[in-house]
Amino acid sequence: MSSSARSDEGGMGVGLLGLGVVGTAVAKAIVERHRSEDPSVPLNVVAAVVRDTSRKRDVDLDPSVISTNLDTVVANPDVDIVVELMGGVDPAFDYITKALEAGQHVVTANKEVMAKRGSELLATAAENNVHLFYEASVAGGIPIIGPLMNDLTANKIQSLRGIINGTTNFILTKMAHEGADFDDVLSEAQSLGYAEADPTADVDGFDALYKISVLARLAYHTEVPVDVIHREGIREVHAKDFRYASELGYTIKLLAVAQANGESGLLSRVHPALIPLDVPMASVNGVLNAVEVEGDLVGPLWFQGPGAGPNPTASAVMGDVIRIAKGAPSNGSSSSAPKPFPIASMDDHVCQYYIRLTASDRPGVLANVARVLGDADISINSVLQKDTDIENGHADLVIMTHPARESNMQSAVSSIKELDSVLRLDSLLRVETYGDRA
Ligand code: HSE
């Protein structure tokens, strides 16, 4: 099937799988803007599949277009481009596959299906000589897939680092600025509609993990399965950590990173990290997203903008739809692997660490902790004793280490937890390295 016009009104037929806030914004972009502003590539919303047809929607679509019947979109010969906005793997994977096999182009905002089954879907698209575009799946309105796929192909990508989850960035920013605790800010984010009722995908780092998997596959031409990516969410970050981090010259962000290291291979990781206050990533606040790409030819590049929201996501979806409508070149092997990278283990990652302990405030405690770290070949950079509780004889010990190997740190942490004088290990956070500094 080609990009020839098939809908009754001429132009290309678009079928929407999902007409929630993003689907409505896409439909509006087609009906209220695109048709009048760029008649050279007429687009028509031929069908939209929804769960509940009775729901009122803020777009001027003929009600006959909206139904619960999948066959009005998937494999319907009047639909040239399927826009998949359902999310999740099941049943989206099957619907996308069926559409591609029927010769329909697909545009998706679905990071989970692109992370977990993207290679299969891209292969199906190539076999059927149709496009599968997914700019909206990562970082909402920020163009990042297109640059990695097209503009930066001459580069060897050295690293990708980003804040690519707006919900967690909103929460961490509030915690940093207001000294609030995670649970309180999460409730506020839920009441404002920034966080889902079940916030797991965002706060436990799954959303960022899917997105970095998609970006890493493109940047490094290799499969980066979601289960090889190190993942930690933000539930264990406490208001106190922002206070102490700030005294040390840092803030805390949920970072998603894919970094190539010649010797050990490609390491992908998602975790909260201490970021020096004077680097741009430290100032990406609220629901904003940012991605820093370092290529060997271009050097460092910086992409920042709205990572979610109906209109920014519709912007990315429509960019892909219009590219197809204008006759994008036939599907190349953008997921091919000229020289796949080996996947590195998190155990080999080297960085500085921030450790916060609740310990007894008595002689020899710090010496014991220092001995355990020393035995694991970890050198201490600085120590703060804070919030001494004279009545109970406790204090917070905040230790910054010099760069150390992750496996050494994990074994040291197990031993520190066993020390009689250590009541709790409250936080273990990695410090992100920038240039020569941490
Ligand atoms: N839930 C995502 C976020 C937006 O908070 O960034 C969709 O990818």
* Residue 203 token pair: 């706060």
CA angle, residues 268, 303, 155, in degrees to nearest 5: 65
State the pLDDT at residue 279.
96
Region 52-71 average pLDDT: 94
pLDDT band for 9, please (50, 70, 90 cuts).
low
Smallest CA separation from ligand 1 atom 7, residue? 308
User: 215 to each of 43, 221, 268, 292, how far by Cα in Å?
Assistant: 29, 10, 10, 12
pLDDT band for 346, please (50, 70, 90 cuts).
very high
20 is in an annotated binding site: yes
pLDDT digits 0-9 by tens, 271-288:
999 999 999 999 999 999
Residues 277 and 357 in one domain: no
pLDDT band for 338, please (50, 70, 90 cuts).
low
Residues 299 and 402 in one domain: no
Q: Distance from first CA to last CA of the chain, Å, rounded?
A: 53
Which residues partner with 293 through β-bridges? Answer: 160, 301
Taking 90 as the threshold, does the pLDDT of residue 405 lie above it? yes
Catalytic residue chosen out of the listed positions 116, 174, 211, 253:
211
pLDDT band for 10, please (50, 70, 90 cuts).
low
Residues 18 and 125 in one domain: yes
Residues 167 and 264 in one domain: yes
Residues 366 and 299 in one domain: no
State the pLDDT at residue 335.
47
CATH number of 358's domain = 3.30.70.260
Minimum-distance ligand 1 atom for the alpha carbon of 140: 8
Is residue 29 domain-resident?
Answer: yes
Taking 50 as the threshold, does the pLDDT of residue 4 lie above it? no
End position of a domain, from candidates 289, 305, 321: 305
State the pLDDT at residue 331.
58
pLDDT digits 0-9 by tens, 240-254:
999 999 999 999 999
Q: Which of 85, 108, 165 to mutate to test the pocket of ligand 1 (most atoms within 8 A of CB)?
A: 165
* Residue 144 token pair: 């990042």
CATH number of 78's domain = 3.40.50.720
Structural domain tally of the chain?
3
Is residue 342 domain-resident?
Answer: no
State the pLDDT at residue 53.
93
State the pLDDT at residue 286.
94
Measure the CA–CA gap between 167 and 178, rounded to whole angstroms: 16
- Ligand 1 center from residue 307 Cα (angstroms): 7
CA angle, residues 33, 139, 24, in degrees to nearest 5: 35
Residues 166 and 257 in one domain: yes
Is residue 329 domain-resident?
Answer: no
Is residue 47 domain-resident?
Answer: yes
Residues 126 and 186 in one domain: no
* Phi-psi sector, 273: left (phi>0), alpha (psi -120 to 50), beta: beta
End position of a domain, from candidates 118, 137, 156: 137
Cβ-Cβ contacts under 8 Å for 111 (sequence gap 6 or more):
134, 137, 138, 207, 210, 211, 214
- Ligand 1 center from residue 208 Cα (angstroms): 8
Residues 264 and 213 in one domain: yes
CA angle, residues 90, 216, 289, in degrees to nearest 5: 85
Q: Provide the domain limits for residue 273.
A: 145-305
CA 292, distance to chain mean position in Å, is: 13
Give the pocket of ligand 1 (CB within 6 Å): 165-167, 202, 207, 307-308
β-strand pairing of 230-231 with 81-84: unpaired
Smallest CA separation from ligand 1 atom 4, residue? 308
pLDDT digits 0-9 by tens, 291-321:
999 999 999 999 999 998 999 999 999 999 9
Half-sphere exposure of 197 (CA within 13 A, CB side): 0
pLDDT digits 0-9 by tens, 140-191:
999 999 999 999 999 999 999 999 999 999 999 999 999 999 999 999 999 9
| 211 counts as catalytic | yes
- Ligand 1 center from residue 308 Cα (angstroms): 6
Residues 96 and 152 in one domain: no
End position of a domain, from candidates 116, 137, 158: 137
Task: Say if residues 252 and 236 touch (Cβ distance below 8 Å).
Answer: no
β-strand pairing of 404-405 with 350-360: antiparallel
Residues 130 and 255 in one domain: no
Residues 266 and 176 in one domain: yes
- Ligand 1 center from residue 346 Cα (angstroms): 25
Q: Following DSSP, what letter does each residue of 17-44 receive, concatenated?
A: E--SHHHHHHHHIIIIIIHHH-TTS-EE
Minimum-distance ligand 1 atom for the alpha carbon of 196: 1
Is residue 173 domain-resident?
Answer: yes
pLDDT band for 354, please (50, 70, 90 cuts).
very high
